[in-house]
Chains A and B, each alone.
Chain A
Amino acid sequence: MDTSEDILQQASPGLIPGSGTARAAKPTRLSPSFISWLQAGPMMLVFLAFFLIPLVFVVIVSFWDYNEYQLLPAFSGRGYTDTFEGCIAQLPDLCTIGRTYVMTLKLCFMVWAITLFIGFWVAYFLAFHVKSKTWQMGLSLLCTIPFWTSNVIRMIAWIPLLGRNGLVNSGLVKTGLINHPLEWLLFSEFSVVLALVHLFTFFMVVPIFNSMVRIDKSLIEAAYDAGATGFQTLVNVIIPLAKPGIVIGSIFVITIVMGDFITIGVMGGQQIAAAGKIIETRVNALQFPAAAANAVILLAITFLIITMMSRIVDIKKEL
Chain B
Amino acid sequence: MTEGRPRSFYVLAIFFAAYVLFLYGPMIAIYVLSFQGPQGGLTFPMNGVSTFWIAKLFQGTGIVDLGAAFRRSLLLGVIVMIVTVVLSVAAGMAFRRKFKAQSILFYSAIASLIVPSIITSLGISLEFRIIDDLIKAHWNENFETSMGLLTSGLGAHLTWTLPFGLLIMFAIFNRFDPRLEEAARDLGATPWQTFYHVVLPIILPSVIGIGLFGFTLSWDELARSSQAIGAVNTLPLDLQGLTTTVTNPDIYALGTVISAVSFTVITLALGTIHVLNKRQAAKGSDAGQGLV
Contacts and interface: CB of A to CB of B under 8 A. Distances in A.
Interface stretch (A33-41, A76-84, A86-94, A239-247): A33-41
Contacts of B120: 50-51, 54-55
B211 interface: no
Given A33-B100, A53-B127, A154 B27 contact: yes
B263 to A, nearest CB: 8
Interface string B100-118: 1111111011111011111
A78 to B, nearest CB: 16
Contact of B108 (A23, A47, A146, A306): A47
A166 B41 CA distance: 11
Contacts of A37: 94, 99
B118 A259 contact: yes
Interface string B1-30: 110011011001101100110111111011
Interface in B121-153: 122-127, 129-130, 133, 152
A152 B239 contact: yes
Interface residues of B, number: 98
A159 B251 CA distance: 11
Contacts of A276: 116, 118
A165 B47 CA distance: 14
A125 B240 contact: no
Contacts of B178: none
Interface in A16-74: 16-17, 19-20, 23, 32-33, 35-40, 42-44, 46-55, 57-58, 61, 71
A65 B16 CA distance: 53
A149 B116 contact: no
Q: Which of B27, B116, B155 has the most CB of A within 10 A?
A: B116
A6 interface: no
B77 interface: no
Nearest to A20: B190
Nearest to A163: B43
A16 B116 contact: no
Contacts of A295: 118-119, 122-123
A116 interface: no
Interface residues of A, number: 98
Q: Which of A38, A40, A156, A158 has the most CB of B within 10 A?
A: A40
A122 interface: yes
B283 to A, nearest CB: 22
A189 interface: no
A47 B117 contact: no
A126 B42 CA distance: 36
Say what secondary structure dominates the interface of chain A: helix
A121 B15 contact: yes
Contacts of B251: 156
Contacts of A149: 27, 220, 258-259, 262-263
Q: Which of A54, A251, A259, A299 has the most CB of B within 10 A?
A: A54
A121 to B, nearest CB: 6
B199 interface: no
A129 interface: yes
B18 to A, nearest CB: 9
Nearest to A56: B123
A51 B159 contact: yes
A251 B110 CA distance: 11
Contacts of B159: 46-47, 50-51
B126 A58 contact: yes
Given A198-B23, A291-B122, 17 more contacts: A33-B99, A43-B87, A46-B87, A50-B124, A50-B155, A50-B158, A52-B108, A129-B5, A149-B27, A151-B220, A153-B259, A157-B27, A157-B30, A165-B43, A262-B222, A266-B243, A276-B118
Interface of A: 14-17, 19-20, 23, 32-33, 35-40, 42-44, 46-55, 57-58, 61, 71, 118, 121-122, 124-126, 128-129, 139, 141-143, 145-146, 148-161, 163, 165-167, 170, 198, 201, 217, 220-221, 224, 230, 251-252, 255-256, 258-262, 266, 270, 276, 279-280, 283, 288, 291-292, 295, 298-299, 302, 306, 315-316, 319
Interface of B: 1-2, 5-6, 8-9, 12-13, 15-16, 19-20, 22-27, 29-30, 33, 42-44, 86-88, 90-91, 93-95, 97, 99-106, 108-112, 114-120, 122-127, 129-130, 133, 152, 155-156, 158-159, 162, 166-167, 170, 190-193, 196, 216, 219-220, 222-223, 226-227, 235-236, 239-240, 243-244, 251-252, 255, 258-259, 262-263, 266, 270
7 contacts: A23-B190, A42-B90, A43-B109, A46-B162, A150-B259, A160-B33, A283-B227
Q: Closest 10 interchain pairs by CB? A: A259-B116, A54-B123, A50-B155, A36-B99, A157-B26, A39-B94, A40-B94, A153-B255, A14-B190, A125-B12
